[in-house]
Structure 1
Amino acid sequence: MAKTYLLSRTLDPILGVFTGLLAFHLNETNPRSAPVPGHTLRELIAWKWDERRELRQQRDREDEGDWERVTRELGVGEGERK
C-alpha cells in the first residue's frame, strides 16, 4: 500500500510542528483562553526550575556535612592539618 502525504515526506512533520507551536502560542496569548497570571508555561517552568535548584543546593549542603563527618571518622587528612 502506498503512503500518501499532504505536501511531502519531509514537509508534513515540519508543518505539524509549526501548526502545534502556532496553536500553543495563540492559546497562551488569546485573551479568552489565556491562562491566569502565574500559570503560563514560562512561569511554571521557572517556578519548577527554582524549586529544583533549591533542592539541589540543600542536598549539596547536606552531602558536604556528611563528607566532613566521614573524613573526621576515618582520620583522613589529619596528618596534613598538623
Structure 2
Amino acid sequence: MAPVLLSRTLDPLLGLFTGVLAYYLSETNPRTALEPEQRLVPLIQWKLDKSRRLRDEKDSQEAGSVEWKALVKEDI
C-alpha cells in the first residue's frame, strides 16, 4: 500500500492547492515578474487564436475541394 501523508482524499487536494499557490506566486512575484505577453493567459489566448486560424484555413480549403468535387461529378 502506498504511503499517505494525511489521507487518501486530502493528499491530492493538498497537492492541487500547493500547485495553484505556486503558480499564483510565480505569476505575481515582483522579483521574477514575467513580461505581460509571457504570462499564462495571453499565451493561452495566442494558442487558441492560432488553432482557430488554422481550423478556418482548413475549412476554407475543404470547402473549395467540395465545390471542385461537385463540378467534377456534374461533368461526368
Q: TM-score scaled by structure 2?
A: 0.89
User: Which residue is 2:13 aligned to?
Assistant: 14
* Separation in structure 2 between the aligned mates of residue 6 and residue 46 of structure 1, nearest angstrom: 37
Structure 1 segments of 4+ aligned residues over 3 angstroms from their partners:
none
Structure 2 residue ranges without an equivalent (≥5): none
- What's the C-alpha RMSD, in Å, of the aligned pairs? 1.5
User: Which residue is 1:55 aligned to?
Assistant: 54
1:24-66 CA-to-partner distances (Å, cap 9, x unmatched) read: 0110011111211200011101001001101110111111011
* Separation in structure 2 between the aligned mates of residue 27 and residue 42 of structure 1, nearest angstrom: 14
User: Which residue is 2:24 aligned to?
Assistant: 25
The higher radius of gyration belongs to 1
Structure 1 residue ranges without an equivalent (≥5): 77-82
User: Which residue is 1:80 aligned to?
Assistant: none
* Separation in structure 2 between the aligned mates of residue 5 and residue 63 of structure 1, nearest angstrom: 53
Instruction: Work out the number of aligned pairs and report it.
Output: 75
* The structure with more helix, counted as a fraction of residues: 2
Q: TM-score scaled by structure 1?
A: 0.83
